[in-house]
Structure 1
Amino acid sequence: MKRTGDQIGGSVMFASAPFVFTSLSPRQAPLETGWAFLEPWRETLCSALAPSKGPFYTGAPNGVSATFKLYPSKYKEPQFRVSDCTLCVEFPADQASRQDGARLQRLREAIEIFDRLSAVNNAVFVTLLAKAMEPDQRACQMPVWPTWKCTLSEPLAPDDSAAIKSCVTWAELLGCPADPWEYSPEFRDVMEKLQTRGVMHTGIRHNKVVTASCVSLYLEDSPNGNKADFAQGGSFMSSLVSGRSTCRSNVGAPELERKARLEHLAVVYETVHSFRNGAILSAFADASSIDRLTLVKAANDKHDACLEPLHWGWLAYALWGRTSTVSIPTLRLSPMDLTEELVSAVEAALQTNYPQPQRGSASLYGFVDILEGTELRPCRRSSLALVLSRDCRCRAYYDPSSMGSQANVVVPGYGICQVELEEGTIEFVSDEASTDITMQEATGSGGVRSLIVDFWRLEDDALVTRLLRLIGRNLKSLALDFSETSDDVEVDLSEVAVACPMLKELRLEGCNASISTHNEALRNWGIKKLEIYESRAVDGLETLLSDQSYRTARGLVELAFSAPPDSMNEHFFGFSYHGMPAEDNRLPREYVSALMAHRGELVIKEKFPVRPKLAMLSPPIPL
């Protein structure tokens, strides 16, 4: 779907005139008779609302839906807490209803009216749509802001134009391609009434216009799906992550293209399925235009690990591999179970530059240049034929002694596939035999700039810095949270300095910190912001802050530190706690003094802009 940000029916979804979003008091009185003019619109909307089944409910058999968060979730001023409410609107899929333009336009306008109502009088909004909400939302004492999830009520007919075309807009998919840009007179009359009702004096003016950033996609994929599901899932993932589909399939999956930039992509695992999740993670080897990536395991308890070592091999290859050019500014992993097996999997993947290393000589790894139109078959899905939609150089593994004329190649969005080698056209070139200087000297220019990890289990403290040595070379920001681990964790800052030499911001939570050796990397470490929370000890930090031979002592801009409540010292921050702990749990007095000695020091808040600096240094131009 090329025009991902198209609004339903081509409408801008809201009039552009600014109005006041209200700061509402707790749940107000029952519905007043003065709101009866909304009843026809309520009936139209409720006829299409599906029962709420949680925020990940799509209501569409194909698992794809468009979500509109029309009420802004970010404010310029502090606001009190609000509750989110997901309302699933099912658009008809049968031919007769999809051709009823007047009915579809009225449904679209009803969505806009009730979204505006949620801001004008939230209590009336909740009362009118109570049956479509969860019980806790109906009884909530906070404002309830709606999220509209638009789906199809059932699969489209095979001959429907939206099911046949390879590129459709959201308007075509939901049956509103011919809707007029103008609103109906009835709609304008209702909006004028809402404009004059219930406006409070505390709020923020905002032009309520939907943009592409307000549209989100949700794909639900089952590891037990058939080959059509796999083909469509691979096409969707490669298009979503890299901007275009890598392959065509023989099951009619459409070719997709994404042109908008992804602000945030979240992948939530409910089960850890090695084959399917490996295919998903392979898409990131060709990622483009993603600002923030989150990988989350929907774990029920701490014994349910985030990602298995096999999947970390895929991540290492895609994001930190020797030939990777992918750049994702921010990556978050939660929760994480750090083990020796996991770190070894990362080491093996980076050493071979292959996501699933096999035993054998380095000569078994290389590349295969595959031409557009070449047929591929996913491993373990040999009945599914994929056709490469563009020329592609694929990372490959080939053992002539056991694989005959077939090589395994990494295809973004589909995982490892098999390709038939042909002399003179499709050939395997091993790393040792390659004459490509670019490939021989590649060191991985891509990667992640900001890494956030939430740990649940840690097999050994030393594994933290060992993992960072493998993936932390280009990191600018690092946040590690150990507060959910059961044991005391110690992070060696001198080892972190070696592993992450370009680091500017470091946040540690729920661990102790130490400095084992004052090495050259530590002296040259250019940390600007250092935060250590819930720490019982930070050995050696006072030297790092006071000795001017350390770059950190000269350039640190922001320092934050806190100890756990049960180890806080009465001298820290100048106040005492009731029920102070034993003396051996307190922060050393000399350490607190070293920290407090820096209070009030002048620091460089931000660098002087380059353009004014150039203007000051440039010679004057004669008139």
Structure 2
Amino acid sequence: MVLDEHFLCPWWSALRRYLAHSEPNHRVRGCIHCYPFPAGFTEDDDTSSLGVCLAVVFPADVEAREQERRLLSRAREALELFTVLAAVNRLKFANFFAEFMADEDVVGLTSGKYSRVLPVWRCYLPKLLSPYVPVATQSSVTWGQLFGCPNDPWVYSVDFRQAMEQVKGLGPQEPESWRELRLEVDWALGHESDLSRTEMDEVLTLDAFSRELGKVFELEIPRVLHFCAVQDRARVIKAWSGSKSQAPASNAQTYKAQVDHETIPEMTKALAMTDFACLTVELEDEEAKNKPVTEISGFRFSTLVARRSMCKLTGANRAMSTVVRDAKYKELDMELTWASNSRVAAVCSAVAESSLMETLRVSVGADINHSEDQTMDRTRWGWLVYGLCAGESTTPDKVLHSGMSVFNLARDRETPSILRDLQSTAFLTVPEGTELRLGGLANPGSNTVFVLSRSHRCRAHYNPATMAECIDVVVAGYGICRMKLGASDRMRQFVRDSANCQPESSRRLSEFSLVISDLENERLVPDLLRLIGGGLRELCFNYCGNHKATLKLCDVAAVCPELEDLELISFELSAPLSGKLCSWGLQELTIGDCNLLHGLPACLENSECRMSRELLKMEITASHDCNVPADTIKVLAAHDKEFLPVIKEKLPLHS
């Protein structure tokens, strides 16, 4: 080690005490990425940058935290110092951390293969915090408090401030290539959830960058992480009562339930008290015949998506009371590609009663090689439409205008028409304590029984030919359930749909993304847009079928008049001129893996068409078996790299 970085040895000695040579298998982890990069830089396409993951294990025992208070403070200071060192002088960074890096990575740095090193600090707690650790029972906790180093060295440490100035001197001052900061904090809780936050800011000075990692330690951690980091979770939940978390809104992913984990319902309660920027629901093929999985999943879906738990839990969790989600999220991302139809039904039934969201992304039936269940058949499509358009079953004015009934779409094709005519849908208020048998149309013959935890207004279905003393109801988070109901009660309680009931257009979404595979009927795409497209600003359709689906831009323009950004993948696209298309104010158009494109060049060259004047960005990628006519390609290629229309007007080519 050369002399000029010798001043860092006290901080290196403190940090090295907590560094691990391999990733530990600990439940709670916080991962911090903090580095500057050039404008337009993307890590995925970059081969000159080296990401280095470094595991730091902080003590969880109250005695160790008390005895090592000074060392822990130095370790936090070290993370800030070495983050800046990595940015200004990668070789000196490698001098310190070579033993914790792969040999080939060290060689790559010293030989010049890598021009940039991106440290990733993986901070762990080896075990849960006992109630004797003060932060274990506080209502709010920062990252610094969680890991035992709560104090800001910029405030209390003259030695740290002087060392930071020396670190800055080890590299070029104010690097010209720095344009933005990538600050990402993600954290994992076993296999149950993963949350992350990303910021993109301008970094104008080295001084500004040197303070960024320290800001992370001052942020409040999300409540779900706080919950999972402590032993006495009941005390933490009690401490939260009446208080509002100040943790930044994050992204959350919920995976399939771990049925042997008795704390999942409590963790769901913690999630229900955590604000999200985006909630992602990822499911594999969890069959409803597995009651423990379905019970936990239903509890989660109804609580996190539909805002309140619907059915009582059993076993060790039977004392858990009804949970109401008071936190918010604006984006919902449903990854349902490998989910069975019963799981799709469960999630979409919860979406139908979800709180107001602005963005919805759905990936369902997109893996055509996985199983036959992945085809976007009428059942899956029906549940998707139901989730988007049914509205809240608790809202009285939705009774006669509640959107397309999933029962009409999911009905067995072989049902005789006379029985189909006798079937009816309605709303029914189901009282608390009612036993529900998971089944109905979705799972005939199921013996899985749940008990409703609170009175709830449900959409219901009745067929007199097959249902003498029972009825099917949709329960948020569970899908279709069957309950006992006598004829006299049914006559009195049924609130029937209007005979002329038409799907109500959904006005709540501003951004919608759908990834699907083979469709039974291509008309379903414009039909869906007709239901949800009124207020859309952004739309993405990715079709993964064996053949390309056809779509007309004029149809999209007619039902999505306010659309600004459109992305279409694997469609046979045409653009016949129409009044709606000419008045369409689209600003960005992305077409991938396309064929045909009939009429698009004429649309772009027609001065009466708003797109010819207002389209700011257009990207077109042809498929490998491209059938786009040569003259169409020639016309579109002629516009390649032209100035954007708005820029032309503001900055004319000739003065």
2:360–2:512 Cα contact (<8 Å) kept:
yes
Report the counterpart of residue 126 of structure 1 in structure 2. Answer: 94
Bigger RCO (CA 8 Å, 6+ sep): 1
Any idea what SS the aligned residue of 2:511 has? strand
Cα offset, 1:339, TM superposition: 0.8
CA distance in 2 between counterparts of 1:454 and 1:135 reads 42
Of 92-101 and 347-356, deviating more is 347-356
2: CA distance between counterparts of 1:160 and 1:601? 61
Query: 1:232 Cα shift?
Result: 2.9
Does the 8 Å CA contact 2:255/2:282 hold for their aligned counterparts?
Answer: no
User: What's the counterpart of residue 69 of structure 1?
Assistant: 33
Paired residues for 1:528-543 under 5 Å: 528-543=587-602
Change (3 A) 1:86 1:284: farther
**Which residues of structure 2 form unaligned runs of 5+?**
179-204, 220-246, 289-293, 308-324, 368-374, 394-404, 412-422, 439-446, 482-491, 651-655
Q: Aligned-pair distance for 1:146?
A: 1.8
Q: Is the Cα contact below 8 Å between 2:49 and 2:117 reproduced in 1?
A: yes
Secondary structure of 1:537 counterpart: strand
Three-state SS of the structure 2 residue aligned to 1:84 is: strand
Other-structure match for 1:145 = 118
State the match for 2:81 in structure 1.
Answer: 113
Amino acid at match of 1:451: F
1:603 aligns with 2:645: yes
SS in 2 for 1:327: coil
Is 1:505 aligned to residue 542 of structure 2? Answer: no
Between the aligned partners of 2:139 and 2:434, the Cα distance in structure 1 is: 20
Normalised by the length of structure 2, the TM-score is 0.60
Helix, strand or coil at the partner of 1:155: coil
Q: Which amino acid aligns with 1:99?
A: E
Letter matched to residue 528 of structure 1 = Q
1:432 maps to: 495
Alignment of 1:491-502 (within 5 A): 491-502=551-562
Structure 2 distance, partners of 1:445, 1:453, is: 17
Q: How does 1:176-575 map to 2 (within 5 A)?
A: 176-177=149-150, 182-199=155-172, 202-204=176-178, 205-206=205-206, 207-208=208-209, 209=212, 210=215, 223-226=257-260, 228-240=262-274, 243=275, 262=276, 275=294, 279-282=299-302, 283-286=304-307, 290=329, 294-296=333-335, 305-313=337-345, 316=348, 321=352, 326-329=356-359, 331=361, 333=363, 336-337=366-367, 339-340=376-377, 341-349=379-387, 352-353=390-391, 361-365=424-428, 396=458, 410=476, 432=495, 444-447=506-509, 449-454=510-515, 461-482=522-543, 486-515=546-575, 521-522=580-581, 524-546=583-605, 552=611, 555-564=614-623, 567=626
How much does 1:538 deviate?
0.7
Letter of the structure 2 residue corresponding to residue 587 of structure 1 = P
Pair 1:102-2:78 in alignment: no
- Separation of aligned partners in 1, 2:425 and 2:34: 54
Q: CA deviation at 1:67?
A: 3.4
Q: Distance in 1 between matches of 2:163 and 2:306?
A: 50
SS of corresponding position for 2:271 = helix
Q: Does 1:46 align with 2:76?
A: no
Report the counterpart of residue 573 of structure 1 in structure 2: none
Mark the CA change 1:195 to 1:273 in structure 2 (over 3 Å): closer, same or farther: farther
2:631 alignment counterpart: 589
| Helix, strand or coil at the partner of 1:239 | coil
Q: Shift in Å at residue 309 of structure 1?
A: 4.3
Cα distance in 1, alignment partners of residues 468 and 51 from structure 2: 56
* Change over 3 Å in CA distance of 1:331–1:173 after alignment to 2: same
| Structure 1 residues 75-122: Cα deviation after superposition (integer angstroms, max 9, x where no partner) | 488996534334332221112012232222122112112212211212
Gaps of 5+ in 1: 1-30, 244-261, 298-304, 419-428, 435-439, 568-584, 609-623
1:89 alignment partner, SS class? strand
Q: Which amino acid aligns with 1:82?
A: S
Question: What displacement does 1:343 show?
Answer: 0.9
For 1:149 and 1:551, the matched residues in 2 are separated by: 50
SS state at 2:35 partner = coil
Contact 1:68 1:148 in 2 (8 A): yes
Distance (whole Å) between structure 2 residues aligned to residue 41 and residue 601 of structure 1: 53
Shift of 1:154: 0.8
* Distance in 2 separating the partners of 1:180 and 1:92: 20
Deviation at 1:490, TM superposition (A): 3.2
> Could you tell me how far apart the structure 1 residues matched to 2:126 and 2:26 are?
6
CA contact (8 A) 2:349 2:383 kept: no
CA distance, structure 1, for counterparts of residue 141 and residue 328 of structure 2: 22
Name the SS for the 2:130 alignment partner.
coil
Instruction: Give the whole-Å Cα distance in 2 for the aligned partners of 1:71 and 1:496.
Output: 42
Q: Which amino acid aligns with 2:52?
A: C
Q: Describe the superposition over 1:304-358 as per-residue Cα deviations: whole angstroms up to 9, x where unpaired.
A: x355544554665565x4x665133474748835611321222344565479967
The 2-side partners of 1:458 and 1:366 are apart by 35
CA change 1:178–1:85 in 2 (3 A) is closer
Q: Aligned AA for 1:236?
A: A
Aligned residues: 497
In 2, the alpha carbon distance for the partners of 1:313 and 1:151 equals 38
Partners in 2 of 1:138 and 1:545 — Cα distance?
Answer: 53
Distance 2:573 2:604 in 1: 14
Q: Aligned partners of 2:76, 2:540: CA distance in 1, in Å?
A: 43
Percent identity, please: 22
CA distance in 2, matches of 1:280, 1:607: 53
State how far apart, in whole Å, the 2-side matches of 1:384 and 1:89 are.
46
Q: Alpha carbon RMSD of aligned pairs, Å? A: 5.2
